[in-house]
A and B are shown apart, each in its own frame.
Chain A
Amino acid sequence: MLLLTLSFTNAQEKEKMNMDHSKMNMDGMKMNMEKMQDIKAEAILNDYFSLKDALVADDTKKAAQTGAKLAVSLKAFDKSNYTANQQKELVDIIADAIEHAEHIAKSNIDHQREHFKTLSKDIADMVAITGTKNTLYQQFCPMYDGGSNWLSASKDVKNPYYGSKMLTCGKVTQTIEM
């Protein structure tokens, strides 16, 4: 289902880009027509991955710090380059993600991991709309809370929900490329 949504939104973005292309003054401007880049989304993803790494390392203090940083980058998100429908969806996603990031900034590790699960869904939903510069991997742990996903920048499976207790438990279920 996610793959369908991803390819659909990808097609939508490509369509949007072709329309913008005709309106643009190309003099002296170099445009990468292959990938739509959202700098703010990339910043969010970077902070998300830092948070994920902190949880993998059982480092609750670092997780709190990165959670706070993520809340900031989420608040800095710029939705103006998206369609009205996408904007509506993004506003909802970002608002929810901010709440989870803020909670992570002031919770113990168990709570941080609970919030991280929903946050991961929010970020995945965001990426489905914004796209991503780099290839991402959706990974899945069947044991945590009836089964939980997270996003990773690398194919290596390092479990943020169990950390050192079950470091490599999980598998790649999806490759996300735009």
Chain B
Amino acid sequence: MKKSVKIIALVFLVGLVGIQFIPTQPNQSDSVPETDFMLVYNVPKTIQKKLQVSCYDCHSNNTQYPWYNKVQPVAWLLEDHVKEGKAELNFNEWDSLSSRRKASKIKSIISQIENDEMPLASYTLIHRDAVFTDTEKQDIINFLTELKNKL
């Protein structure tokens, strides 16, 4: 092997090992606050389950981390997703929003699911159960639309 290739490979390896030592902030909470979406509304069991499986990892205070989260740069990527996801929408803190904000969020949720922009493709690639079937899409959109109209 050429010397330069060996050096690059070494640097890469050292880098890879090095970043393993960088700590990340786990998104974990063992309590569900009373502001949680599921506690505020009477959510049908099937939709509850779907939200939990497809949305809550990035949009709540409690992420179910996979084994490969122990490896960088995966942990970084996931941390990034969770941080951005929670900033946009946090189901656990739903009731802290005004009715106006709730209505806006619901519109966005409907739009994102309808246009297949959520859940993220990178998420459903690994989490096959997070994918929305056409029926599941329609069910949740109907539920959310009704909710929005009652606000």
Contact = CB atoms under 8 A, between A and B. Distances in A.
A111 B101 contact: no
A7 to B, nearest CB: 23
B104 A92 contact: no
B111 interface: yes
A93 B111 contact: no
Contacts of B98: 92, 95-96
B131 to A, nearest CB: 22
Most buried by A among B100, B101, B108: B100
B70 interface: no
Most buried by B among A96, A99, A100: A96
Interface residues of B, number: 8
B101 A95 contact: yes
Q: Determine chain B's interface SS by DSSP, over half rule.
A: helix
Contacts of A111: 111
Contacts of B101: 92, 95-96, 99
Contact of A114 (B100, B103, B111): B111
A103 B100 CA distance: 16
A96 B111 contact: no
Interface string B100-115: 1101100110010000
Interface of B: 98, 100-101, 103-104, 107-108, 111
8 contacts: A92-B100, A92-B101, A95-B98, A100-B104, A114-B107, A114-B111, A118-B103, A118-B107
